[in-house]
Amino acid sequence: MPDIRLLLIGSGAVMLGHMRSLVQLKGVKIVGLADVDEARMARAMEMLEEPVPGLLDYRQLLETVEADACFIAVPNYLHRQVACDCLDAGLHTMCEKPLATTTADCDAMIEAAERNDRFLQVGLSCRFSRVDSTAHRLVVSGMIGEPKMVWAREFRAPFAKKYQDWILDRDRSGGTLVEKTCHHFDLFNWFTGACRESNATRVYGSGGADWVYQDHAHLPVGVTEAERPTLNIIDNAFVTVDYDTGARAQLLLCMFANRGRKLEVGVQGTEGAVVYYRLESLVELYDGDHPKDPRRIEIDIPDDEVGLSHQGQAYLEQLYFFDCIRKGERPKVDGVVGKRSVEIALAAEESVRSHLPVEISATPLV
């Protein structure tokens, strides 16, 4: 089978992370690159064995370079336009998370994929983490009964520097709970729906900008440019999500935990629990044989994946995307899945601002 010809749109830190593994994949050939910043694009070009066209306008790339698929890693507010243009050009499209910053934009992207009979996959790469997927298999197995409570606690450092500080502007990023925790909300959907279909119905959020994003004086060194960026995102929150199955999920997020960083995800079922720690590559299982002291499952990350983006989960995500293209099978992590996480994230952002719960009607799974 001929190589899958791949275009890359965007060459910031996220795309560079993808490129570390993309350049090694057999059966995939990068044939073009686009970015509005020439210096950044030049750095990305250095990772390629052979020179390829590099253009400032991705639309010219679509018009002049023959390709089969594309990877998109541009600011969130641009996802709709870029993805729809790529899908209309006949390319299978892998778009970084979040799918978009509004549900209307999500719908437009989903419709473009269907209209052009092309695949749209969203970069919710936690589903491909060896740690997360091990935990999910345990839940699916029924060893802990029916999932009733899910939680995620992420205490981490502030966002890394982004081009023109777009990530600090809610209008461009969607807000912290869209940009960052769409991952967690997707995990909530994934785990609560492990045994039967589960749809979010109500979201409560409490949060604010109480330290690092409180004002410009608290921003980490190097974040701001000559002009002060728009700064209107939150840096901590508690978010609770209710599901039509009776399950509940809760997120605890802190964006100023330079010390005491922690990432924990847990699923409490009717017969036990699964708790995992992605940073430590550790899963704990509480079941009938281990009611108090859990069975510890240490996840082995192959050496050739450890140095890749997020310990290889982006690499495994890439393999899945290209496998779907070769087999002609619609990706499971498609536009609808991406939209369902955005629906919760947008409701959480609204609830934080209004101090009221927000009812939602989740888009049905296809």
Residues 93 and 71: their CA atoms lie apart, in Å, by 6
Position 112, amino acid: A
- Whole-number pLDDT of residue 113: 98
Supply the DSSP string of 63-80, one letter for each residue: HHS--SEEEE-S-GGGHH
Going from N- to C-terminal start, the domains of the chain cover 4-124, 126-304+332-359
- Whole-number pLDDT of residue 184: 98
- Whole-number pLDDT of residue 328: 97
Q: Do the Cβ atoms of 150 and 188 come closer than 8 Å?
A: yes
Give me the residues paired with residue 263 across strands. 154
Q: pTM for the full model?
A: 0.96
CATH of 126-304+332-359, picked from 3.40.50.300, 3.30.360.10, 3.30.1300.10, 3.90.1150.10, is 3.30.360.10
Residue 35: count of CB within 10 angstroms of its CB: 26
Local structure of residue 307 (DSSP, 8 states): T
Residues 273 and 268: their CA atoms lie apart, in Å, by 4
Q: Do the Cβ atoms of 238 and 250 come closer than 8 Å?
A: yes
What fold characterizes domain 4-124? Answer: Rossmann fold (3.40.50)
Give me the residues paired with residue 266 across strands. 151, 275
- Whole-number pLDDT of residue 67: 98
Q: Give the orientation angle of helix 13-22 with respect to helix 313-327, to 10 degrees.
A: 60
Residues 317 and 311: their CA atoms lie apart, in Å, by 12
- Whole-number pLDDT of residue 226: 63
Using alpha carbons only, what angle is made at residue 123 by residues 119 and 129, rounded to the nearest 5 degrees? 120
- Torsion, CA 213, CA 216, CA 220, CA 225, rounded to 10: 120
Give buried/exposed letters for 2-33 (b at 16+ CB in 10 A, else e).
eebbbbbbbbbebbbbbbebbeebeebbbbbb
Residues 122 and 97: their CA atoms lie apart, in Å, by 6
Q: Name the token pair of 52.
A: 């390829």
Pairing of the two strands 92-96 and 120-123: parallel
R_g over Cα of the chain: 20
Position 267, amino acid: V
Please list the ranges in the chain whose pLDDT falls under 50: none
- Whole-number pLDDT of residue 366: 80
- Whole-number pLDDT of residue 124: 98
Q: Among 158, 150, 274, 263, which Cα is nearest to 209's?
A: 158
Q: Give the orientation angle of helix 38-45 with respect to helix 13-22, to 10 degrees.
A: 20
Q: Do the Cβ atoms of 343 and 174 come closer than 8 Å?
A: no
Residues 155 and 336: their CA atoms lie apart, in Å, by 28
Q: Do the Cβ atoms of 46 and 52 come closer than 8 Å?
A: no
